[in-house]
Amino acid sequence: MTEPQTQNGALVAIDGLKKYFPIRKGVLAREVARVHAVDDVTLSVAEGETLGLVGESGCGKSTLGRCIVRLLEPTAGDVVFDGKSIGHLKARTLRPLRREMQMIFQDPYASLNPRKRVGTIISDPMRIHGIGDRKERKRKVEELLETVGLSPEHYNRFPHEFSGGQRQRIGVARALALRPKLIVADEPVSALDVSIQAQMVNLLEQLQDEFRLTYVFIAHDLGVVRHVSDRIAVMYLGKLVELSPAEELYSRPIMPYTEALLSAVPVPDPDLADQRERIVLEGDVPSPINPPSGCRFHPRCRYATEVCSQIEPPLVDYGNGHLAACHHPLNVDRETLARVQASPAHTPEAADETALPRDPGKEVARPVPRPE
């Protein structure tokens, strides 16, 4: 298991990152509102680690991913990559760093240029960065094709000659071409059949060992993420709401949103599916233009009380690198609670205790900001 939240040894450190998109109207293009896509997220990714980033559409996970590789410039906050602050670098100074971080995109049909041959698609990053001569690049591409499970004869083919899963492999080969340290994979398997998803997940894991890669793996489905991640971050409406070592998130989720996400994953077992109580989240993610007050999840949360609509819960460290932002944490026992409460900082007057989940063993924690 990876050390939680240490700044040293971290390949990527995201610090108070915010990304707002302005909405402009009128002749003067005055800014009338802002989309709060990512709102004050702090986390770090250690070298060689896989961080899963999970949430529904519109929660800001892709925006965060794009800010990490600086396809987008953050509105506020910073991204430190390999010890260098890159949050606000100019394009020119950023360029040499682009080699170190690559991206795999969701849609294998849209992310490959249909008019270029596979060989060109994969070798272009090397050409742009001036690596090797033409012959050498060709040799490397053929090597890469083999690494990702395609055949070197595919060099001269066009993307339309491949199936979805094969195209995604081409996307992976392109990302690997520059031997990056970090790969941000934005829903790399969501567009694929279940059987092909498993192939991709296994391939990504194998490549991680082979090339000592660090992954940020973005997905909306907690099922796939479990297999690749060391740690998982759950986002909701631009906020980081839970961060946990992977297995722990599945055995004891703290945030009710995580609980609901877990219960939404279909179980391929008719009896179990009948037995288990499914928490169906009503409605959609609210608009990030005017996010709800207090805890942003409260309008859809079944444990929500008055305090949730007024006070935004801070991220609390419950030990073992498990952080969550909730007024009514689940699966927190008395001991952990006491420890959390013993820390010096205090929150505003907390929850209405009668409205809490009353399952035995699930005690009420009074959330306290993470000790600095």
* Interacting residue ranges for another protein, rule: CB under 8 A: 56-57, 163-166, 193-199, 201-202, 205, 220-224, 226-227, 247, 250, 260-273, 278, 280-284
In the complex, minimum distance from the CB of residue 288 to another protein, in angstroms, rounded to a whole number: 12
Select from 335, 363, 323 the least CA-distant residue to 43: 323
Smallest distance, another protein to C-beta of residue 327, A = 21
The C-alpha atoms of residue 209 and residue 189 are separated, in whole angstroms, by 19
Nearer to another protein, 199 or 341 (CB): 199
Maximum C-alpha span of the chain: 72
Task: Give Cβ neighbours of residue 237 (< 8 Å, ≥ 6 apart).
Answer: 36, 39, 58, 59, 60, 285, 286, 288, 291, 292, 296, 297
Taking the C-alpha atoms of residue 187 and residue 190, their distance in angstroms, rounded to an integer, is 5
User: Which is closer to another protein, CB of 226 or CB of 231?
Assistant: 226
Which residue carries 């396809």 as its tokens? 71
Q: For tokens 């049909």, what's the residue?
A: 109
Please report how close the Cβ of residue 204 comes to another protein at its closest, in angstroms: 11
Nearest alpha-carbon partner for 176 in 215, 135, 231, 227: 215
Contact between 48 and 65 under an 8 Å Cβ cutoff? The reply is no
Instruction: Decide whether 163 or 290 has the Cβ nearer to another protein.
Output: 163
Of 93 and 163, which has the nearer Cβ to another protein?
Answer: 163
84 phi, psi to nearest 5 deg: -110, 135
* Cβ proximity of 336 and 365 under 8 Å: yes
- Tokens 């996400």 map to which residue? 261
Q: How far is the CB of 167 from another protein (least distance, A)?
A: 12
Q: Provide the terminal-to-terminal Cα distance of the chain, rounded to the nearest Å.
A: 23
Backbone angles phi, psi at 19, to 5 degrees: -135, 115
> Smallest distance, Å, CB 25 to another protein?
17
CB 277, min distance to another protein, A: 12
User: Would you say 283 or 361 has its CB closer to another protein?
Assistant: 283
C-alpha–C-alpha distance, residues 372 and 360, integer Å:
32
Residue type, 281: L
Q: Between residues 88 and 278, which has the closer beta carbon with respect to another protein?
A: 278
**Min separation Cβ 69 and another protein, Å:** 23
In the bound state with another protein, the residue whose beta carbon lies nearer, of 136 and 247, is: 247
Cβ 241 to another protein shortest distance, Å: 14
Q: Give the separation between CA 339 and CA 241, rounded to whole angstroms.
A: 20
Q: Closest distance between another protein and the C-beta of residue 194, in Å? A: 5
Cα separation, 304 vs 297, in Å, equals 9
List phi, psi (to 5°) of 88: -130, 30
Nearer to another protein, 282 or 349 (CB): 282
Q: Which is nearer to another protein, 202 or 293 (CB)?
A: 202
